[in-house]
């Protein structure tokens, strides 16, 4: 296996220590060859600079990738970010005569418009044409939610190309015993902990989170704990301080292997997205990790992701973008007995194993790879 990627810089927007941008770099990780090509690192919301961040990787991967990756049997694109990652995949498809499997994690240009990054209709139209071009030249398009399947079909993709393939949580995400010593050290003992983990950006709607925290600030035993980083992290840290929200604690980014231990300290795990149509179709990847770790969930979501929480019986759903509704949802779980909260946790974990089991979905993923190889590198 060969991974073609850029130099690591997310979410800080700076190349990680130990790396420096150079023409290319080859390294090996657990038997996997990783080929890194240059890009412009950036984490903010300047349209010009973010566009160059996206396009710089597409350009360098398209020009250098064919010479660096060698023989290719299949090309898998995990499109968790910009649609432009599809450009080098299409270049490689025709140079290497290999099929492209484009696993859609984010619908463009809908996300650009929903986050407010792009408002001009002519830019959105250009991006939409690029999306349609990339989809048209892919051989198979797995999607992370059933809502995405409907949206991709609206862009003119033949139904037989689109396959539902949800994300799963890595094996490290599982219920672990609560560590009372860690709770004391982290300042989370003897409090009702509402924990958010992940990227802190526009999509995650931290204005609503801080609004709910403001409504609950007189309940000194309820604390919001934020784990993660992102383009808006410093902004919301400073905003919470200006608003005097002592019940909101930003703890920064933590190693992924520590997350189950942190989750075990939470009474509620919080997942939320802005109240935009595209986010009613988007299943945040943290949702599977939350379910797998067996803690009650409060979900400020609607549509497909809200249905998962409701169907699982693992938590409470409220309308996104509404601080009052979010505060009431937190209080709803807060007022439950420990036994009732444990029942929510167990229901969520059981649902995870039924719907998002890693081994089951890997088998489905393997079948899709084999399906793509049958109609090798055809053009729709």
Chain position carrying tokens 């909260």: 341
Q: Taking the model in full, what pTM does it have?
A: 0.87
Q: Tens of pLDDT along the chain (380 residues)?
A: 899 999 988 777 788 888 888 899 999 998 899 999 999 888 777 888 888 888 999 999 999 999 999 899 999 999 888 999 999 999 999 999 999 999 999 999 998 888 787 888 999 999 999 999 999 999 999 999 999 999 999 998 999 899 999 999 999 999 999 999 999 999 999 999 999 999 998 899 999 999 999 999 999 999 999 999 988 999 999 999 999 999 999 999 999 999 999 999 999 999 999 999 999 999 999 999 999 999 999 999 999 999 999 999 999 999 999 999 999 999 999 999 999 999 999 999 999 999 999 999 999 999 988 887 654 544 33
Residue 376 has a CB neighbour count (10 Å cut-off) of: 12
CA 348 from centroid of its chain's CA atoms: 19
- What residue ranges define each of the domains in the chain, with the CATH number in brackets? 2-169+359-374 (3.40.50.2000), 180-355 (3.40.50.2000)
Report angle CA 128, 126, 80 to the nearest 5 degrees.
50
HSE-CB for 32 with a 13 A CA cutoff: 10
């Amino acid at each position: 296996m060969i991974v073609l990627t850029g130099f690591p810089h997310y979410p800080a927007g700076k190349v990680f220590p130990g790396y420096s941008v150079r023409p290319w770099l080859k390294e090996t990780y657990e038997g996997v060859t990783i080929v890194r090509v240059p890009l412009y690192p950036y984490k903010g919301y300047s349209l010009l600079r973010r566009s160059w961040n996206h396009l710089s990787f597409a350009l360098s991967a398209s020009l250098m990738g064919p010479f660096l990756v060698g023989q290719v049997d299949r090309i898998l694109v995990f499109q968790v970010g910009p649609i432009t990652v599809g450009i080098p995949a299409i270049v490689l498809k025709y140079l290497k005569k290999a099929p492209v499997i484009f696993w859609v994690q984010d619908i463009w240009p809908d996300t650009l418009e929903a986050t407010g990054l792009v408002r001009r209709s002519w830019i959105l139209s250009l991006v939409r044409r690029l999306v349609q071009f990339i989809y048209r030249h892919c051989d198979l398009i797995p999607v992370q939610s059933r809502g995405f399947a409907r949206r991709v079909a609206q862009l003119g993709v033949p139904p037989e190309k689109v396959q539902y393939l949800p994300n799963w949580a890595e094996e490290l995400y599982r219920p672990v015993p609560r560590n009372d010593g860690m709770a004391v050290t982290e300042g989370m003992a003897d409090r009702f902990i509402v924990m958010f983990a992940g990227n802190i950006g526009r999509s995650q709607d931290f204005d609503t989170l801080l609004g709910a925290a403001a409504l609950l600030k007189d309940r000194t035993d309820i604390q919001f704990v934020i784990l993660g980083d992102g383009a808006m992290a410093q902004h919301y840290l400073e905003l919470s301080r200006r608003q005097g929200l002592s019940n909101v604690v930003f703890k920064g980014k933590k190693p992924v292997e520590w997350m189950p231990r942190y989750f075990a300290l939470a009474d509620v795990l919080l997942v939320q997205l802005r109240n935009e149509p595209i986010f009613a179709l988007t299943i945040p990847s943290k949702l599977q990790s939350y379910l797998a770790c067996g803690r009650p969930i409060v979900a400020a979501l609607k549509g497909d992701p809200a249905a998962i929480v409701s169907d699982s019986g693992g938590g409470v759903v409220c309308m996104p973008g509404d601080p009052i509704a979010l505060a009431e949802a937190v209080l709803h779980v807060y007022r439950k007995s420990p036994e009732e909260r444990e029942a929510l946790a167990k229901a969520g974990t059981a649902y995870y194993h039924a719907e998002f089991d890693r081994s089951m979905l890997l088998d489905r993923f393997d079948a899709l790879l084999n399906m793509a190889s049958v109609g090798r590198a055809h053009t729709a």
